[in-house]
Copies of this chain bind each other. A is one copy, B any other.
Amino acid sequence: MSKELDSIMRPQSIAIVGASSKPGTVGNEIVSKLKEYGFAGAMYPVNPKADEICGIKAYKSILEVPSKVDLAVIVVSKDQVFGVIDQCNEKGIKGIVVISAGFKETGAEGVKREEELLAKVRQYGMRMVGPNCLGVINTEQGIKMNATFADALPLAGKTAFTSQSGALGAAILNISKDLDLGISQFVSIGNAADITTETLLDYWKDDQKTEQILLYMESISDPQEFSRLAKQVTKNKPVIAIKGGRSAAGASAASSHTGSLAGADLAADALLKQSGVIRVNSLPEMFDVAEAFANCPVPKGKRVAIMTNAGGPGIMATDAICENGLEIAQLDEETKAYMKSYLPEAASVKNPVDMIASAPLEHYQNTLKALIKDENVDAIMVIYLPLMNLDPMDVSKVIMEIKAENPEKPIVGVIIAKNGFFTRINKIEKNIPFYQYPEPAANAMSKLYAQRVWLERPEGREPSYQVNKNKVTEIISSALKEGRSQLTTLESIDVLDAYGIRTCKYAFAGTVDEAAGQANRIGYPVVMKITSTKISHKTEIGGVIVGINSEEQLRNEYNALLQRLKDKNLQDGFEGVIIQEMVKGNREMVCGVATDPQYGHLMMFGLGGIFVETLKDVAFRVNPVTDIDVKEMVQSVKAYKILQGSRGEQPANIAQIEETMLRLSQLVKDFSFIKELDINPLKISDKTGEGVAVDGRIEVKFDEARKALSGLNLTSSVSS
């Protein structure tokens, strides 16, 4: 991979095809930016009508360029692109950046044009950035390539950055300079026909100049590949991403609980989480977090010490630190005693350490050193609010000097001063990040800590259980044969059972007499549930009757149910009832699987029963999930406390619940055409603590399922 992208990102020679001598045109901007930024290699503007552009000799055609060319930056009109690429091939060029627009972004015809373009590029063994992009930048000494038409000359640094929006990319480059955020490489991927965010993750993984990666994404073209690569990269370099479209009307027509809760963004959010990507939701947050990573080690833990010269900001910082999931460090007694020795009486040596308004530089020095030494402190926020006595630059320099000698703990500066201070501090070399207010600082610190959690997170495994795959195949085939994509409750429970998921004892009964017989066999109390091919939410028609204590009661309820169906004209599809063991317990969870058109199977776990859709106390992950993913899902819902038995109940068997999720994961990996699956409720037995599937719902994609199972030729009639 590396070698292939080098022709684009580390070229020794660039041809600019469509270069122009007319200022204000893209073809002119590219050449002038390349020149202005000091490209270290050879530049060959190509224009049939010009002899020189921006003072550089121009060529009528790329074929006339006398030397080898590594990269062609193409800015001709969309129709001319194809011919230019043919010539590039003839010339032996392997790297292409297509700035030209007029492809996928313009509709159906453009999509076709882009497909043809990609085919050509693939055929020639080239790699291409674009089309419809802003260009590429590499700030490295010895390369110094700014092949964009953005109005920005970014500073060199350790941050690689790719943007799916060219304009936003330009804005970020522009503002990054204000903020002293140095860039290693920048790629505007445009329509991302060939080179995508994933390609760049792979390339930057090994780039020595790149220590962190920023992504602006509006979609993830290959979620599985993204996740695979991101998992690798993030163990070495933080990846900070904006994924736009969080609120996109995910009005999915899915009818299941899991489906209706799994909006488009939940899938993206889950994928980023599982991949160790640090998600941010705005540009300023991205800048703030990037600045923290650029200037801080990853902390060992989440205990933060605050030192300040004013109480108010100390309170605000405490609030922000707690709200960001970090902790206020309990300072060592020795630290406090030491601080008492030099701080005035009115000062507070309890965290937040308030050195009061009169604090001289020396107090900043002593206190910072003491907090660095304190083993109860993982990270430090130094606040200075300019009062009459000290210049904020002097305070900042003192902090940075101490940081230079003590690089091990993250230190962030919060200087509540006018913008002018930040202009000044950004002009000197920094080794800590500076913020104007405590809140963005606390947020950035929480992301540093999130990276620690990620680094220490075990990789996890996807266990493989002994299951009865054949039985599932049989059940689904049988339903398909009847033209159904929706399994009955009975079939659904049998499928779960075949995969070793704890379901409760049940039996099917087609008549009231059969029902009585089965109930007598299972033992009262029992639950009676309708099974019908037409009804998916049983409770709404009173199709679930619990706590049936006698045969007489059972017969009455059965007849009443039939009457309700008749009244609502829903007899059609009625098959009978399931008589089920009544699992005692009032904790009801839900687990399920939904299918996202782009991300595939989404696993869900959370609080079940009547609360699922109201309280939305659920967690999602993109399948495949590991044991660690599942553990995190279970722990991440608020109802986890209920599972632990927070109010005196029997603690749930968490390991068994996690296994249930992993077995579900295996089920939908094996039967990828399962569209939706709900276990609601997964009832926690008061007796054993186990999660027991007392109801199930499975729907398959009819055509896909038929195709997948057609080779099996299951002719035998299947009963269950």
Contacts and interface: CB of A to CB of B under 8 A. Distances in A.
Interface of A: 24, 29, 105-106, 149, 151, 163-165, 167-168, 170-171, 174-175, 177-178, 216, 218, 242, 244-248, 281-284, 309-313, 315-316, 318-323, 346, 357, 385-388, 416-420, 423, 436-439, 537, 539-541, 547, 549, 586-587, 607, 609-611, 613-617, 638-639, 641-642, 646-649
Contact of A310 (B106, B167, B616): B167
A245 B315 contact: yes
Contacts of A416: 168, 171, 175, 283
Contacts of A167: 309-313, 357, 385, 387
A410 to B, nearest CB: 21
Among all A-B residue pairs, the 8 with the closest Cβ atoms: A165-B312, A167-B310, A168-B312, A247-B322, A540-B648, A244-B315, A282-B439, A246-B319
A543 to B, nearest CB: 10
Contacts of A281: 319, 439
Contact of A346 (B105, B170, B216): B105
B313 A168 contact: yes
Contact of A282 (B316, B617, B641): B316
Given A170-B387, A178-B418, A244 B316 contact: yes
B178 A318 contact: no
A639 B614 contact: yes
Contacts of A549: 549
Contacts of A322: 246-247
B613 A646 contact: yes
A177 to B, nearest CB: 7
B539 A648 contact: yes
Nearest to A439: B282
A55 to B, nearest CB: 21
Nearest to A174: B418
A244 to B, nearest CB: 4
Contacts of A168: 310, 312-313, 385, 416
B284 A436 contact: yes
Contacts of A639: 611, 614-615
Contacts of A646: 613-614
Contacts of A438: 282
A426 to B, nearest CB: 10
B647 A537 contact: yes
A539 B177 CA distance: 62
15 contacts: A167-B312, A167-B357, A167-B387, A171-B310, A171-B313, A174-B386, A177-B418, A247-B319, A247-B323, A282-B320, A283-B437, A419-B419, A613-B646, A615-B639, A616-B638
Nearest to A282: B439
B642 A244 contact: no
A668 B641 CA distance: 32
Count this chain's copies in the assembly.
2
A671 to B, nearest CB: 29
Given A149-B388, A244-B315, A246-B319, 14 more contacts: A105-B346, A165-B312, A167-B312, A167-B357, A174-B386, A175-B416, A175-B417, A244-B316, A245-B318, A246-B323, A282-B439, A284-B436, A541-B648, A615-B617
Nearest to A422: B419
Nearest to A246: B319
A151 B416 CA distance: 13
B151 A388 contact: yes
A420 B175 CA distance: 10
Point out which of A282, A318, A614 has the most chain B C-beta atoms below 10 A from its C-beta.
A614
Contacts of A586: 609-610
A557 to B, nearest CB: 15
A178 B421 CA distance: 12
A615 B357 CA distance: 42
Contact of A170 (B163, B218, B385): B385
Contacts of A539: 647-648
Contact of A610 (B151, B614, B647): B647
Contacts of A319: 244-247, 281
A150 to B, nearest CB: 9
Nearest to A167: B310
A641 B611 CA distance: 10
Nearest to A106: B346
Contacts of A244: 312, 315-316, 319
A624 to B, nearest CB: 29
A617 to B, nearest CB: 6
Contact of A642 (B164, B216, B418, B610): B610
A251 B389 CA distance: 38
Contact of A175 (B171, B242, B418, B587): B418
Contacts of A318: 245, 247-248
A615 B610 contact: no
Point out which of A171, A310, A346, A617 has the most chain B C-beta atoms below 10 A from its C-beta.
A171
A81 B649 CA distance: 63
A34 B171 CA distance: 44
Given A244-B312, A245-B319, A615-B615, A647 B386 contact: no
Contacts of A163: 312
Contacts of A346: 105-106
Contacts of A436: 175, 284
Nearest to A357: B167
A541 B346 CA distance: 50
A272 B177 CA distance: 41
A315 B165 CA distance: 10
Contacts of A29: 388
Given A319-B244, A357-B167, A646-B613, A312 B218 contact: yes
A567 to B, nearest CB: 15
A164 B310 CA distance: 12
Contacts of A613: 641, 646-647
Point out which of A177, A218, A610 has the most chain B C-beta atoms below 10 A from its C-beta.
A610
Point out which of A167, A178, A320 has the most chain B C-beta atoms below 10 A from its C-beta.
A167
Nearest to A389: B24
A105 B347 CA distance: 11
A614 B652 CA distance: 15
Nearest to A540: B648
A93 B163 CA distance: 66
Nearest to A586: B610
Contacts of A609: 586
A526 to B, nearest CB: 15
